[in-house]
Amino acid sequence: MLRMLAFDYGASSGRAVMGSFDGKVLRTEEVHRFSNDPVFAGGTLYWDFLRLFYEMKQGILKSRSHNLSSIGIDSWAVDFGLLDKNGRLLGNPVHYRDSRTDGSIEEIAKIVDKRDIYERTGIQFMVINTLNQLYAMVKEDAAAFDKAETLLFIPDLLAYFLTGHKVSEFTVASTSQMLNSVTRKWDFDLLEKLNIKTSMLPDIVEAGTVLGPLSTRVQEELGIGAVPVISVAEHDTASAVVAVPAKDENHAYLSSGTWSLLGVELNAPVINDITYNVNYTNEGGVHGTTRLLKNIMGLWIYQECKREWDEEGRKLSFDELEEEASECPPFRSFIDPDNDLFFGQGNMPRKVCAFCRDTGQHVPEDKFSIVRCIMESLALKYRMVIEGLEKITGKKINVLHIVGGGCKNRMLNQFAANATGKTVITGPTEATAIGNLLCQLMGLGEIKNLREARELVLNSFETAVYQPKNTSAWQEAYERFKMYVK
C-alpha cells in the first residue's frame, strides 16, 4: 500500500489529503483542513504565506506515522514570492486581487502590442496575470525588485521551503503570460522589453518530476524521514483536469469553484484570430497537453454574497439558499459574471442589484432571487464559452464534465445541463487533490499516462449524471442573456 500526501491550496482554504493506493483503487482521506485568510495591510492585500507554510507542517505532522511515499503541492496560479541571494523571502506574496495591477494591461500595450503578447504566450489578458504584477513592481517597488534573486510561484515556494530546491513547474508557470507557447520556455525577449529581470526565473520542470527529499532541517523539526517531494501539476486546475474521468473524446471540462475554468484538452495551443478576439487561454497541461479554456468568475460572486449575508445576521447554508432560490421565478434578470464590477471584495449583493438596475432589468428583491440570478447567469455563460470552444476546435462537444467543489451545487449542475443542452457528469468533488495524487503516482512510476490515470479515477470514485431539461425556455433566456454580456 502506497500512501501519498497531497496539499491543495485554494483561494479561501487549504487541506492535506492522504491518498492510499493498493495497485487497483485510489482512496482519499482528508487529514488536515485550514482557512486561507488574505490580510489587507498598509494599502496592500497579501497572502499570509508563513501561516500557509505552518499549516503544511501541521498536515505533515498528522500524517508522519503512515510511512509516506511522497508529498505533492498544488495551488492557485499567477501569484509568487521573491527570494534574496540568501534564499530569504522578501515579504509576503501579494494577492492577485490587489489593486496594484489596475490599468497595467493598457500600459503594457503601449510598450508591446497586445497581439504580439498573445501570439507569443497564448494566454488570455487578465489583470491578475503575473506579467502585469511584475510590471507593476518594476514601476512601484524597484528596490525590492532589485534585491530579488529568485521568483517562485506559490506551490514552488512552498516546495522550496520543504526541500531547498528552486524550480518552476510547467503548468503553473504557463499561466503567467511569460512563457513562449512554442518553446515552452520563458520568453526573455518579451520580458526584457518590459524591464522585467529575467535572471530571477528558475528552470522549468514537468509535472511528475521528483524534486528531492525533505531537507534535513525539516526532517528534524517534524520527526519524519527523507520523504520525496514530487513536482505535481502544481496549478490546481491542471491537477483537476488530470482527474477528469472522461470516456468521450468530445468532452469539455469545468473545474468549478471560486473560479470556473471551462475548456478542452488538446495536443497543441490554438492561437489565431478567433482565440485572440474572444480572449481564450492556452495553459500547459500534463504530458505535453494544452488546456484551451476560459476563466469565468465562478462561484466567487455567490460566496461573497453569502459571506456578507452571514455577517449581517442569521446564517443560511448553501443548501438552504439554493432550496429557496429554486422556488423563485426564473429568468427575471441576468448578470455578466465576468464584468469588472464583480472582481473585488465587498458589497457583492448590492453589486448584483446595481448591474441589473443599470442594464434596465428587474432588480432582485431578496437574497434568494439574487442567488437564482447568479446561478442562471453562470450556467448561460457556460453555454457561451462552450459555443466558443466548438467554433475554435470545429468539434461538437457532447459531454460536460464538472469536477471540484462546485460539484456539490446541484442547482448549478442542473442549470448547466439545461443551458448547454449537454449531458453533465459531475465528480469527483476532490478532483484537484486526486489529480495531485495521480501525478505523484506518475512520478513514482506506478501509472504511466493520462489514460491510466483516468481509468483509475473511474474505478475509484463515484460520479453523477444530469440530463438537460426545459431546453426551449433556456434557449429563449440565452438570447436575452447575450444582450448583457460583452
Catalytic residue set: 236
- Bridge partners of 33, per DSSP, are 15
Q: Round the CA-based radius of gyration of the chain to a whole number and report it.
A: 22
Q: Does residue 13 contact residue 35 with C-beta atoms inside 8 Å?
A: yes
Question: Which residues have a Cβ under 8 Å from the Cβ of 22 and sit 6 or more positions away?
Answer: 1
How buried is residue 275: exposed, middle or buried, by Cβ count under 10 Å (0-12/13-18/19+)? buried
Distance CA 326, CA 359 (A): 24
Which residues lie across from 45 on neighbouring strands? 40
* Residue 64 DSSP label: G
Q: What is the rounded distance in angstroms from the CA atom of residue 27 to the CA atom of residue 361?
A: 48
Q: Which three cell numbers stand for residue 190?
A: 518579451
The whole-angstrom separation of Cα 29 and Cα 429 is 13
220 contacts: CB under 8 Å, gap ≥ 6: none
- Respond yes or no on whether the N-terminal peptide bond of residue 428 is cis (omega within 30° of 0): yes
Burial code (b: 16+ CB inside 10 Å, e: under 16) for 283-310 equals: bbbbeebbbbbbbbbbbbbbbbbbebbe
**CA torsion angle for 350, 356, 357, 363 (degrees, to 10)?**
-80
**Mapping DSSP to helix (H, G, I), strand (E, B) and coil, where does residue 59 land?**
helix
